Amino acid sequence: MAKRVLIVGGVAGGASAAARLRRLDEKAVIIIFERGPDVSFANCGLPYYLGGEIKDRGKLLVQTPQKLAANLNLDVRVRSEVVAILRDKKAIRVRDLQTNAIYEENYDNLILAPGAAPLVPPIPGIEKPGIFSLRNLVDTDRIHSWVQNQQGKKAVVMGGGFIGLEMAEQLEKRGLGVALVQRSGQVLDPFDPEMISPIHQELAAKGIDLRLNRQVIRIDDAPPKEKVLKVVLDDGSGIEADVVILGIGVKPESHLASDAKLEVNPRGAIKVDDHLRTSDPFIYAIGDAIEVKDPVTGNQTQVPLAGPANRQGRIVADNIAGKPTSYRGTLGTAILRVFDYTAACTGASAKTLSKAGIPFKTVYLHPNSHAGYYPGAHPLSMKVLFSPKDGKILGAQAVGKDGADKRIDVIAASIHHGGTMDDLVDYELCYAPPFGSAKDPVNIAGMAIQNNINQLVEIVHWSEVEGRVKNGSKLLDVREPKEVEAGMIPGALNIPLPQLRSRLNEIDSSSDWIVYCQSGQRSYNACRILSQHGYRCCNLSGAYKTYSAAKNTGI
């Protein structure tokens, strides 16, 4: 008898599960239920359609019900809302949203892929026209139509996460003046604060009115202007807007699971085992609605990303088809374009590791995106976190105009396989002058970690400088005088690296020295010179670039 598999939700996880299962089982009855009108669309592309970079709306439709039926023999039922799971009967209850008819369907296995819903803050005025969340094509059409009909000139984006920044960028590209309100002191909370300074500067350079450490407390009308809103912040200021976009985060849409007494965590995410099976052995769950393991910390977390959802769909299909497969967890590898800059990350941040009580060390580096002598090279800011015990890589972040993506992809693969500093050093990566360097930034990161663990140099970080100076350490700047004129750490002694050996007599041998340059390479060389002449010294990791970036962020 053919196996009946019902899937609640399409898009990334549900559609992937259905397609994989059909390829494994030609006879299975596979039915997808989707509450909206579109079963499989590129939700990550929605902001770029709104901004005009994607001009053809049809390009966002990855699959249609008709194509899925013809190519994969899938029964796709759009505008069909699953309203209950009847576990005792192994059935679901469905409402046809076009006819309002209620019916039931039995299953052998049920896959829950309901996704996550945008958070809507409980503030006065949040229900007013012109205020939107962005989740699907219907939302996209509403925003597109509103801005076009209103001939909007001003927008407020609430939230500085991935969606918030993408929307701020795209609305600016569409010609609107944009204000972005962020509750914390930085955008992109998955990153550590000092890494985000270039993004803050880029937003300001592009005219985005960035309001950090601010909250929206209410949204008023702005008379006498018809249909214009006034977004009021907790400092009493107000921002006029023709449109307001909510980008403050998402919550798992798990009410079906909780109503059916499946286990969920305190934040509402559905609990699953390594095979993505819920507390009911016949029900699986995938995507933004589930709790997953963080492979670095070992803790449970929630990571709403399309890549993991697709992999989870494939794994569930394998398990249902009798091919036992485990899900290893979600690193949270993510990337974002903010105008001319790219920010990418993988694994744990310093904030996450500190909260989990996991010992770690950090190296900062500022290599070029490709060979510096080849035109078009851009500096790349990188942060790599590692275990002080064995150099195991725990996380990485990169920000720059070019090259962040491939470096973080390589490090993500390394973390996935338990890679260490030695692996980063040994990786043989593509090199030609337009694309990289003979020593890739990934290799250089591994070398910097090796130098620290093998005690060739002690590392000090920007956050430690002030405390060490108060305790008697002195600062040595080994940059050239023209670099120093552009900015320096107060109180530093400047001796350019080429002059260091001939001017050792100017350096107090009884003091501890913090040595820095612009990016860290020259100061490392200086530390090697000094230490072999009997001086006590440490290298400021990331050097003046990281120090100044952190100070500009205000942390």
Active site amino acids: 44
As a whole number of angstroms, the distance between CA 489 and CA 487 comes to 7
3-state secondary structure of 196: helix
As a whole number of angstroms, the distance between CA 144 and CA 139 comes to 9
DSSP 119: -
Q: Of 332, 346, 496, 490, which is closest to residue 407 (Cα–Cα)?
A: 346
As a whole number of angstroms, the distance between CA 451 and CA 458 comes to 8
3-state secondary structure of 114: coil
Determine the length of the chain: 555
Q: Token digits for 388?
A: 């002080």
Q: Token digits for 349?
A: 């941040």
In angstroms, what CA-CA distances link 481 with 203, 494, 517, 525?
Answer: 31, 8, 11, 18
Residues with Cβ within 8 Å of 499's Cβ and at least 6 positions away in sequence, in order, are none
3-state secondary structure 342-382: EEEEEECCHHHHHHHCCCCEEEEECCECCCCCCCCCCEEEE
- The backbone torsions φ and ψ at residue 396, rounded to the nearest 5 degrees and listed phi first, read -160, 150
Contact 208, 176 (CB under 8 A): no
